[in-house]
Amino acid sequence: MKRFLIAAVLFLSLGRVAFAADSNDFLPQSFAGWTKSGSVQSTTDPAKADAAYPAVLKEYGFADAETVTYTRADGRKLTVKAARFNDATGAYGAFTFYRQPTMGTERIGTKAASANQRILFFRDNVLVDANFDRLTEMSAAELRELAGMLPAAKASSANLPSLPGYLPKSDAVENSAKYILGPQALVAQKGPLTPEQVDFSHDPEILIQDYSSKNGPLTLTLIQYPTPQIAGDRLRAFQNAAQSTPNSLLVRRSGPLVDVVTGAVGSSEAHALLNSVNYEAEVTWNEATSMSKRDNIGNLIVALFALIGIILFITLIFGIFFGGIRILLKRLFPDRVFDRPEDVEIIQLHLR
């Protein structure tokens, strides 16, 4: 009997451990007719997630990754590599890092791009790289169902960066935007600026976008610093670099943004591109625009009378309760509990 109990306890414990392991997986067991085949390969080591760019993944806030093979009843196969980041900003940056300009735009998750059997997309803080063995007309719809089953980021972790909103859309090269948070990603993308010029000690955010023009290709680099003062200091550093190497770049500051245009900078289109970026500060007005119920003196007086009414009602209830008990006891036990003769006698002194 003891052996049976021990075996049962071990079985339940192993079952709980296995359930806990499965519950940590953020890729679903099945979706749109696809079912997991084999074990899930998970890791928290960025070097195992991407041996070529582990430092870049760290800069984007890599948390963990999973690789899963899905199969269908018709024999089709789908390999999904998913990486989870600390927030949606990191997932967006990694998406732009791995996305190629030759990819086409798709409508899956938050943003998506595809090339042949490969579809890259992200939703909130999860980046997914899906590779089909054979595409069908329903492949995009199947991945949309997968995107809807991914765990959602909480609160501010789901917010995307604001820098893409400042990019001019005219003459932009599709899928060429690169969002960068660290020097390793900047070097890996072979951007027009060096980490020393950007100065990552101030934790800037960078967005690089290619543009086409009649006089040649242009590249716009937006650098957002924490404060306009820091941006002003970096502006002077870029201006000194421009003077030392003429016709290499155009630079301008707008609030905490430093805009740098490289390429065919001698054209009027380059100057127009530089001046098309304007920072607009968002001001939030937190002061109340109307009187709340708590601040209204009329509501306070009404609440006060309501409290008095409640107290009087409670007093009445207790009075009826105790008065009723006294009358009942006087009828059941006359002159025994209340109004006993010895208690109601008047002491007389008979003074003359």
Q: How confident is the model at residue 287, as a pLDDT?
A: 55
Question: What tokens does 326 get?
Answer: 């006294």
* Residue 285: predicted pLDDT: 54
CA distances from 234 to 189, 248, 293 (A): 21, 17, 50
With CA atoms as reference, report the closest residue to 179 among 93, 246, 257.
93
Residue 37 token pair: 């085949």
Let me know the angle formed at the C-alpha of 218 by 217 and 219, rounded to the nearest 5 degrees: 130
Report which DSSP code applies to 24.
H
Closest CA to 258 of 221, 287, 285: 221
Please report, in tens digits, the pLDDT of each residue of the chain (352 residues total).
444 444 443 434 444 433 333 447 899 999 999 999 988 999 999 999 999 999 999 999 999 999 999 999 999 999 999 999 999 999 999 999 999 989 999 999 999 999 999 999 999 999 999 999 999 999 999 999 999 999 999 888 999 999 999 999 999 999 999 999 999 999 999 988 999 999 999 999 999 999 999 999 999 999 999 999 999 999 999 998 888 887 889 999 999 999 999 999 988 999 999 999 988 765 555 555 555 666 677 788 888 899 999 999 999 998 888 888 888 877 877 777 666 666 656 666 777 6
pLDDT of residue 339: 66
Task: Specify the pLDDT at position 10.
Answer: 40
Terminal alpha carbon distance of the chain: 100
The pLDDT of residue 247 is 80
The pLDDT of residue 43 is 96
Q: E strand or H helix at 118, and its extent?
A: strand 118-123
The whole-angstrom separation of Cα 100 and Cα 182 is 19
pLDDT of 246 = 79
Angle at 131 between CA 145 and CA 78, to 5 degrees: 65
CA dihedral sign of residues 162, 180, 132, 42: negative
**CA 139, CA 81: separation in Å to the nearest integer?**
16
Distance CA 87, CA 110 (A): 13
Q: Minimal CA–CA distance to 173: which of 244, 102, 276? A: 102
CA gap 202, 223 in Å, rounded: 11
Q: CATH assignment of 21-158? A: 3.40.1000
pLDDT value, residue 175: 92
pLDDT at 149: 95
- Give all strands (DSSP E) within 189-322, no chain letters: 205-211, 218-224, 249-254, 257-263
Residue 160 class from Cβ within 10 Å (0-12 exposed, 13-18 middle, 19+ buried)? middle
Nearest to 192 by CA among 138, 241, 143, 131: 241
Sequence-separated (6 or more) residues with CB below 8 Å from residue 14? none
- Integer Rg of the chain from CA: 36
Q: Which helix H or strand E contains 114, and what residues bound it? A: strand 111-115
